Amino acid sequence: MNHVTEFERDVMPFTAELYRRALGYTMNAADAEDLVQETMLKAYNAFGRLGEDAHLRAWLLRITRNTWISDYRARLRRPDESLVGQVDDASERAMSAESQVFRHQFDPDVREALFALSAEMRETLYWVAVEGMTYRETADIMGVPEGTVMSRMHRSRASMRRSLGDAA
């Protein structure tokens, strides 16, 4: 089986999940599509160097996250751009996909407790509790040691219990 066929068979099924995650990062459909395309290009170029025991899902999500971070940092270095007459406060502060889910799916007290967490703790909680990723997979995606994920989960749960008034 050739490289292209293996890539299509093994990697392409993750496209929808990558798009959903990219949309959460970019908060814009067109930018999310670009991010997924760039992720797939990077994944294709590195696919031949992967070992057989690679965790493809975590690997792809990490490429997506790292690409978004790099692009975000590059945008910070560029001067601000705005079109006169087309600036709208609501569009500037568009909510992420996770924020929209939290707004509609969770009790207001739970939502408030979630957003009281740091971004790193909230992202860790998202991968483990919502997406069902293992600590190892989450660590791979976020580029941190597995112990950091475990620590963040412990602190997140403790903070949520305190915020929601459950001392148990």
Per-residue pLDDT of the chain (168 residues; tens, 9 = 90+): 677 788 999 999 999 999 999 988 888 899 999 999 999 999 999 998 887 777 899 999 999 999 999 888 887 777 655 554 444 444 444 555 555 555 555 677 887 888 888 888 888 988 888 888 899 989 988 889 999 999 999 999 888 888 888 544
- Put simply, whether the predicted model's pTM sits higher than 0.85 gets the answer no
Catalogue all structural domains in the chain, each as residue range(s) with its CATH number: 1-76 (1.10.1740.10), 96-168 (1.10.10.10)
Q: Can you tell me the distance from the alpha carbon of 63 to that of 45, in angstroms, rounded to the nearest whole number?
A: 12
